[in-house]
Structure 1
Amino acid sequence: MDKWEYKTLKFKIGSFWGGVNVDEQQFEDILNEAGSQGWELVSSVDTSQYQGQSKDLIVVMKRKRT
């Protein structure tokens, strides 16, 4: 039976005024670095702050345990 380990990453995406503030290149670079270490993105969830505005993005990654 395969065994997995999990990793969560949290990205601040909301700004004070409610807009989305994401450095897409930095986000992609972080995901690519994790991918090069064997991590696979399996889920992402945004957290609501107020009236549906996003505050954070949480991504869940997994890889086979060695």
Structure 2
Amino acid sequence: MAERAFPNHRAAALALLNGDNHLTRKAGQFLGQLAVDTTPLSDAQADWLAKLLERAELPPVAAGGAL
């Protein structure tokens, strides 16, 4: 069964922070910001989040997953 995509970047960030993932301090700070900030992501932020999700073997953020 395919995993469902996260509905928005906040949900994805919280999953990464609450999971058993090895995160750098910089990645943790980035994810903490995403968890509380509802502004749209820049392309660079979206790419970094996608890489962190892929590395943790988690599903991506849904297309158009804005808050």
- Indicate the structure whose relative CO is greater, using CA pairs within 8 Å and at least 6 residues apart: 2
- TM-score (norm: length of structure 1): 0.36
Higher strand share: 1
Higher Rg of the two aligned structures: 1
- TM-score (norm: length of structure 2): 0.36
Higher helix share: 2
